[in-house]
Chain A
Amino acid sequence: MTNSLILTDIKINLAGENAVIIYFSEQVSPETCRQIKQAQQLIKNHFSDKIIDLVPSYASILIVYDQLKINHHQLQHQLKTLLANLIADKNSQDKKTLVQLPVYYSIESGPDLIRIASQSNISVNQVIECHSQQEYQVYAIGFAPGFAYLGEVNLQIATPRLTTPRLKVPKGAVGIADKQTAVYPSESPGGWNIIGLCPTDMFNANSAAVTPVQVGDTVKFNAISKQEFLSLGGCLPSKI
Chain B
Amino acid sequence: MKKINSPQNKSLIKLGFLVKKPGMLSLIQDAGRFGTNNLGLTNGGPVDMPAFYWANRLLGNHLLTNKANSSVIEISLGGLVLIAQYDSQIAVTGAPFPLTINGQVKELWRSYSIKAGDIIAFGFANIGVRCYLAIKGGFDIPLSFGSTSTVCREHLGGLSGNKLQANEIVPYNEIKSDNNQLMLAEKDRPNYSNEAILRTVSSYQQHHFSSAQQDLFYSSKYNVSKHYDRMGYRLNGPTIKAGINGILSEGICHGAIQIPNDGQPIVLLNDRQTIGGYPKIGAVIALDTAKLGQLSRGAKVSFTKISIDEAQQLFHSHNELLSQTELIPCD
**A and B associate:** yes
Cβ distance B155 to chain A, nearest Cβ, rounded Å: 8
Contact B40 A67 (CB under 8 A): no
| A window 59-74: CB within 8 A of B | 59-62, 64, 67-68, 71-72
Are A57 and B253 neighbours in the complex by a CB distance under 8 Å?
Answer: no
Interface residues on B, range: 35 or more
Interface segment out of the listed B16-24, B168-176, B199-207: B199-207
A141 pairs with B315, CB closer than 8 A: no
* Residues B275 and A53 in contact, CB atoms below 8 Å apart: no
Measured CA separation A22–B248 after assembly (Å) = 13
Whether A205 pairs with B203 at a CB distance below 8 angstroms is no
User: How does the 8 Å CB contact mask read for A109-148 relative to B, with 1 for contact and 0 for none?
Assistant: 0000000000000000000000000000000111111110
A84 in the interface (beta carbon within 8 A): no
> How many residues in A have their beta carbons less than 8 Å from beta carbons of B?
41
Residues of A within 8 A of B144 (CB): 205
Residues 304-320 of chain B, each 1 if its beta carbon lies under 8 Å from chain A, else 0:
00001101100110010
Query: Closest CB of chain A to B21's CB: distance in Å?
Result: 30
Instruction: Note all chain B residues with C-beta closer than 8 A to A58.
Output: 248-250
Within 8 A of A (CB), among B46-73: none
B:126-155 near A, CB below 8 Å: 144-145, 153-154
A25 nearest in chain B by CB position: B248
CB neighbours (8 Å) of A57 from chain B are: 248-251, 275
Chain B residues with CB below 8 A from A55, complex form? 37-38, 250-252, 274-275
CB interface residues, A 5-63, toward B, < 8 Å: 13-19, 21, 26, 28, 52-62
Chain B facing A: main interface SS = mixed
Residues of B within 8 A of A82 (CB): none
- Within the assembled complex, what's the spacing in Å between the Cα atoms of A140 and B250? 8
CB contacts (< 8 Å) of B38 on chain A: these are 53-56, 141, 214-215
Task: State whether the Cβ of B266 lies closer than 8 Å to any Cβ in chain A.
Answer: no
> What is the bound-complex CA distance between A203 and B153, given in angstroms?
14
What residues of A have a CB within 8 angstroms of the CB of B183 in the complex?
A: none
Given A17-B255, A145-B154: A53 and B35 interface contact (C-beta under 8 Å): yes
Pair B283/A17 contact, Cβ less than 8 Å: yes
Say yes or no: A143-B308 contact (C-beta < 8 A), given A17-B255, A211-B39: no
Q: Are B201 and A59 in contact (CB under 8 A)?
A: no
**Who on chain B is nearest to A67 by CB?**
B315
Cβ–Cβ contact B253 & A145, under 8 A = no
Q: Which interface residue of A14, A143, A211, A214 has the most chain B CB atoms within 10 A?
A: A14
Residue B41 is within 8 A (CB to CB) of chain A in the complex? yes
Most buried by B among A15, A28, A55, A143: A15
Tell me if A107 is interfacial: C-beta within 8 Å of chain B. Answer: no
A54 with B248: CB separation less than 8 A: no
- Contact at B248–A17, with CB atoms within 8 Å? no
Complex contact A210–B251 (CB within 8 A): no
- Taking a contact as CB atoms closer than 8 A, the residue among A13, A72, A145, A211 that contacts B312 in the complex is A72
Return chain A residues, CB-CB under 8 Å to B156.
145, 205
Residues of A near B311 (CB, < 8 A) are 17
B255 to A16, Cβ gap below 8 A? yes
* Minimum CB distance partner of B202 in chain A: A14
How close is B33's CB to chain A, nearest CB, in angstroms?
10
Query: For the complex, is A149 an interface residue (Cβ under 8 Å from B)?
Result: yes
Bound together, the chains give a CA A44 to CA B312 distance in angstroms of: 22
For the complex of A and B, list the 10 residue pairs with the smallest distance between their C-beta atoms, beginning with the closest: A62-B251, A55-B251, A142-B275, A16-B283, A19-B253, A16-B253, A14-B203, A53-B37, A58-B248, A145-B40
Which residues in B have some Cβ–Cβ distance to A below 8 Å? 34-41, 43, 144-145, 153-154, 156, 201-204, 248-256, 273-276, 283, 285-286, 308-309, 311-312, 315-316, 319
What are some 12 contacts across the A-B interface (CB < 8 A)?
A: A14-B201, A18-B315, A53-B35, A54-B37, A55-B38, A55-B274, A57-B251, A57-B275, A58-B248, A58-B250, A143-B40, A146-B39
- Contacts A17-B255, A60-B251 aside, 17 further interface pairs with beta carbons under 8 A come to A13-B203, A14-B202, A15-B283, A16-B285, A17-B285, A17-B315, A18-B253, A18-B312, A55-B275, A59-B248, A62-B251, A141-B39, A141-B40, A143-B273, A144-B40, A149-B249, A211-B40
